[in-house]
Amino acid sequence: MKTERTVGAYEAKTRLPQLLEDVSKGESITITKHGVPVAKLVPIEAIDRKKVAEAIDALRKWRKEQNLSLGGLTIRELIEEGRR
Protein backbone atom coordinates (compact mmCIF):
# COMPACT_ATOMS: atom_id res chain seq x y z
CA MET A 1 0.00 0.00 0.00
CA LYS A 2 2.19 2.83 -1.28
CA THR A 3 -0.06 5.88 -1.12
CA GLU A 4 0.57 9.54 -0.48
CA ARG A 5 -1.61 12.19 1.15
CA THR A 6 -1.44 15.64 2.68
CA VAL A 7 -2.64 16.79 6.10
CA GLY A 8 -2.54 20.12 7.88
CA ALA A 9 -0.34 20.72 10.93
CA TYR A 10 -3.32 20.79 13.31
CA GLU A 11 -4.61 17.46 12.04
CA ALA A 12 -1.11 16.00 12.24
CA LYS A 13 -0.82 17.14 15.86
CA THR A 14 -4.18 15.77 16.91
CA ARG A 15 -3.96 12.51 14.95
CA LEU A 16 -0.23 11.68 15.16
CA PRO A 17 -0.66 8.11 16.49
CA GLN A 18 -2.99 7.21 13.60
CA LEU A 19 -0.73 8.91 11.06
CA LEU A 20 2.26 6.95 12.36
CA GLU A 21 0.24 3.75 12.04
CA ASP A 22 -0.58 4.66 8.43
CA VAL A 23 3.09 5.39 7.72
CA SER A 24 4.13 2.06 9.21
CA LYS A 25 1.84 0.45 6.61
CA GLY A 26 3.70 2.16 3.75
CA GLU A 27 1.87 5.46 3.34
CA SER A 28 3.73 8.76 2.92
CA ILE A 29 2.18 11.85 4.49
CA THR A 30 3.06 15.46 3.72
CA ILE A 31 2.34 17.92 6.54
CA THR A 32 1.42 21.47 5.59
CA LYS A 33 1.24 24.72 7.50
CA HIS A 34 -1.16 27.23 5.99
CA GLY A 35 -1.14 25.15 2.82
CA VAL A 36 2.65 25.13 2.48
CA PRO A 37 4.43 21.75 2.79
CA VAL A 38 6.77 21.79 5.80
CA ALA A 39 7.47 18.13 6.61
CA LYS A 40 7.00 14.61 5.34
CA LEU A 41 6.37 11.39 7.24
CA VAL A 42 7.73 8.43 5.30
CA PRO A 43 8.28 4.77 6.14
CA ILE A 44 11.79 4.14 7.43
CA GLU A 45 12.46 1.77 4.53
CA ALA A 46 12.12 4.70 2.15
CA ILE A 47 15.21 6.39 3.61
CA ASP A 48 18.45 5.72 1.79
CA ARG A 49 20.44 3.99 4.53
CA LYS A 50 23.74 4.61 2.73
CA LYS A 51 23.18 8.37 2.85
CA VAL A 52 22.29 8.16 6.54
CA ALA A 53 25.48 6.19 7.28
CA GLU A 54 27.54 8.72 5.30
CA ALA A 55 26.00 11.61 7.26
CA ILE A 56 26.74 9.90 10.57
CA ASP A 57 30.35 9.25 9.53
CA ALA A 58 30.73 12.90 8.48
CA LEU A 59 29.39 14.08 11.84
CA ARG A 60 31.76 11.78 13.72
CA LYS A 61 34.72 13.04 11.68
CA TRP A 62 33.70 16.66 12.26
CA ARG A 63 33.33 16.03 15.99
CA LYS A 64 36.86 14.62 16.22
CA GLU A 65 38.20 17.76 14.54
CA GLN A 66 36.53 20.09 17.05
CA ASN A 67 38.51 21.41 20.00
CA LEU A 68 36.71 22.32 23.19
CA SER A 69 39.84 23.30 25.10
CA LEU A 70 38.82 26.87 25.82
CA GLY A 71 41.70 28.04 27.92
CA GLY A 72 42.16 24.60 29.44
CA LEU A 73 38.68 24.54 31.02
CA THR A 74 36.96 21.23 31.66
CA ILE A 75 33.38 20.54 30.62
CA ARG A 76 32.35 20.80 34.29
CA GLU A 77 34.01 24.23 34.58
CA LEU A 78 32.24 25.40 31.41
CA ILE A 79 28.89 24.24 32.83
CA GLU A 80 29.52 26.00 36.12
CA GLU A 81 30.61 29.17 34.30
CA GLY A 82 27.34 29.13 32.32
CA ARG A 83 25.36 29.10 35.57
CA ARG A 84 26.86 32.34 36.79
The pLDDT tens digits of the residues spanning 3-24 come to 789 999 999 999 999 999 999 9
pTM: 0.53
| 66 SS3 class | coil
All domains of the chain in start order, with CATH: 4-82 (3.40.1620.10)
Q: Measured in whole angstroms, how far is the alpha carbon of residue 24 from the centre of its chain? A: 17
**DSSP string computed for 6-42:** EEEHHHHHHTHHHHHHHHHTT-EEEEEETTEEEEEE-
* Residue pLDDT, tens place only, 23-82: 999 899 999 999 999 999 998 876 777 888 899 999 999 887 776 666 677 778 888 888
With 60 as the cut, is the pLDDT of residue 1 above it? no
What values do phi and psi take at 6, rounded to 5? -125, 140
Distance, in Å, from the CA atom of 80 to the CA atom of 72, rounded to the nearest integer, reads: 14
